[in-house]
Chain A
Amino acid sequence: MTQNLLIPLSDLQPGDQGEVVQVEAQGPIRQRLLEMGFIRGVRLRVEKLAPLGDPMELVIKGYHLSLRRDESACILVHRVA
């Protein structure tokens, strides 16, 4: 059951994979995240954290993207094994 737990993307560790469930951000940030591919059901993988711990690098839709904790905290995902 733990697999279906909803967690913010910022809780995933490097190497973890997740599936986007919902983008909670509002306004322009929400639109930007949608355009960049954060739509329901999309798989992503956390690649690494920046040397200072923030932002994070992830792979989504086959390309690499970096997000600050501020933004990744408002994306809810399922952890995928």
Chain B
Amino acid sequence: MSLTIALAGNPNCGKTTLFNALTGARHHVGNWPGVTVERRSGSFEQDGLTLEVVDLPGTYSLAARSADERVAAQFLASPEVDLVLNVLDASNLERNLYLSTQLLELGKPVAFVLNMVDDAENRGVRIDLPALEILLGGPVIPTVGNREQGIPELKALLATLARGESTRCRRITVDYGHDIEGELGKLATEISRDEQLEASMPPRWLALQLLENNADAKRKVAESHASEAIGQQLAKSFAFLEPHLGADGATLIAERRYGFAHGLVKEVASAADERKTPTARLDALLTHRWLGIPIFLGILALVYSLSFILGKIPQDWIAEGFKALSDFAGARLPAGELTSLLVDGVIPGVSAVIVFVPVIMILMGCIAFLEDTGYMARAAFIMDRLMHVMGLHGKSFIPLIMGSGCNVPAIQAARTIESPQDRLITILVTPLVSCSARLQVYIVIAGTFFTPFKAALAIIGMHFLGLGLAVLMGRMLRSALFSGPSSPFVMELPPYRLPVLKATLIHMWEKGSIFLTRAGTTIFAGATLIWFLSRYPGIANGEWTAQYQDQRLAVQALQLPAAETEDRLKALQLAHESRIVNTSLAARLGQKASPLLQPILDPDHKRPEAWKDVIALTAGFVAKEIVVSTMAVIHQASDEPKVGERLSPLQVALRDNSGLSPLTALAFMVFTLIYTPCLGTIAMIRREAGSWGWAGFTVAYGLVLGWGLAWVTVVAGRWMGFA
């Protein structure tokens, strides 16, 4: 026999810690159908029963306005749920009980967990458990989730409830007073005329939502054959209640619920002492008028260094490991299609996926840590003014800054933003923030065409341009996509808590594995497609392959010193690859598409090789750093400088043969900054924004905006007299 328990509670009540304690490692993370709200489910066994636990998103209410609340409300009302387990934060009981008043209306057995009783006791709050059980009409188990106290008792209780052996759930509800109860009764009678509607949720619960003017409830009623009668009754109820009780339905109901919660807390809990809490003392420093911002920037710098400097070390190992593997396979296997698929397609494709994992795990771990301590809310509090001016939320700041390391985890970090509008806008503008992969392209191009000082200026300029564009696009998207006021900033500043290391580790593992399974396939498929475009038909040309083999043998037969042989073999390989790539489908595409890029990259029609840029940029779809290695192949010049020389052979080739001028080189940099997010970012946008549509939109606006700004660069540059 299996039974499903829904875990419901406010944000910051320790629900997820409790979920981990209940289910251990046996759980599954996915998304709720149709929305990007995380769904965690797991199970545990007790007394021979399998109990399935579903962790609902933390919500303050079931009013179904946000995606989180809608998911919670719909799941709780569904027949799948056998038992509701309401987690209450003992140190913040009154506000937590607001949600309980709604859960008690669902017509399902509700059991309660009084979590963080240690916090409450430290604040001098003592809670009378037997009295609480009587007033809530259900069993209450005290726990300290992060120390796993009370978990065995909780499991035992849940098993007893599952077997139906307990009579401790009495199903009480809030008494809304004579007038409102009268109207609720009348509404419920009308609702009951539609049997289907009646079966979908308790009529009284639906009636309450109607009185609160809940849009989802109204929609549900509109589909019913009894909608007219219900609507008439609702209008009558409003007409009676509002003048009679002096407020609208929503206010009256909220007041009664808080009345219940307030009365209950007075009855069962002693008042908190007025001592300064550790949180207040910490906040005196962390959100201090003058020190708050410097401390925040310091923490940000630390997170950034951990993720992108420390994270770069394993990243380099992975990249080098795969490079060695690819070289090894390339040297041992006979040249040809299959080898190329393996060496130039599959291995770099897998590498392009795995290389993200360390930085994703470290950054997500840091963010989970900040979130679990309660500092994330303070960071948003500190930065909100600035971000609000930009049309964004205080919590958008961290993803945007992290974007300059790598856009992929930055977009994942946007999960911390509760409002779906703010989250979507942040996701859509993050690709404009110049990441470290694009830096590699700038370094090659700027290093070739500018003096070192000007090159540094140009590179810094690209970063500011990216941030500035993100801000502008954010404002534009907000006014274009979401008319009306921005979503409210009503954010709890939860007490500081020491996070549980295990929870942080579980979170890191989940984020890493989700990336591998969901985004990984997209990146891999894209990388293989780009490989195909840039190698065919040349790679299948047996004659070329035979020629290449003969040349290799001829060099080896010369019996030159080992170093020279290797140099010559490398040159041969580069020449062979160059021949293939420069006649590939991508090259043909490049020749077709180069007129499109002519105004920005070849304004004087003096560059016969402008089509080669298109190949490099197409390859840049996979990952921006590939632009450089592709250029090396196309121009048949290594991107590693020889000892004692400032410019690499690739840079010399670009300077002497590509026909780019400093101005068009700058336009090339601008275009590289904006034209498209890399495949990893695209896959992540698709996952986090919930549709391919938004991912496509990001690519499309990037191409248009990138072209436009590169064109402005050329035109304005010429007007100012640059060439």
A residues adjacent to B (C-beta < 8 A): 23, 28-37, 39-40, 42, 48-55, 57, 61-68, 70-71
Contact = CB atoms under 8 A, between A and B. Distances in A.
A31 B272 CA distance: 28
A51 B293 contact: yes
11 contacts: A30-B250, A36-B60, A36-B490, A37-B258, A50-B292, A51-B293, A52-B382, A61-B94, A65-B493, A68-B388, A71-B490
Interface in B253-274: 254-255, 258, 272
Interface stretch (B221-229, B233-241, B282-290): B282-290
A27 B279 CA distance: 33
A34 B289 CA distance: 29
Contacts of A54: 384-385, 388
Contacts of A53: 385
Nearest to B394: A55
The listed residue with most B CB atoms (<10 A of its CB), out of A35, A48, A49, A63, is A35
Contacts of B482: none
Given A37-B258, A39-B258, A31 B63 contact: yes
B95 A61 contact: yes
A37 B98 CA distance: 9
A28 B65 contact: yes
B212 A31 contact: yes
Q: Is the interface of A mostly helix, strand, loop or mixed?
A: mixed
B90 to A, nearest CB: 12
A35 to B, nearest CB: 4
B274 to A, nearest CB: 11
Nearest to A56: B381
A39 B491 CA distance: 17
B709 to A, nearest CB: 30
A35 B287 contact: no
Interface in B440-467: none
Given A28-B488, A36-B95, A37-B258, A55 B385 contact: yes
B166 interface: no
Contacts of B436: none
Contacts of B61: 31, 35
B251 interface: yes
B485 interface: yes
A62 B386 CA distance: 28
A54 B488 CA distance: 13
A71 B250 CA distance: 18
A53 B94 CA distance: 29
Nearest to A39: B255
B250 A34 contact: yes
Contacts of A31: 61, 63, 65, 212-213, 250
B416 interface: no
Contacts of B92: 62-63
A55 B491 CA distance: 10
A35 B490 CA distance: 11
B697 interface: no
A36 B95 CA distance: 7
A57 B254 contact: no
A61 B292 CA distance: 25
B292 A39 contact: no
A71 B255 contact: no
A3 B287 CA distance: 30
Contacts of B258: 37, 39, 42, 61
Contacts of A71: 488-490
Contacts of A28: 65, 488
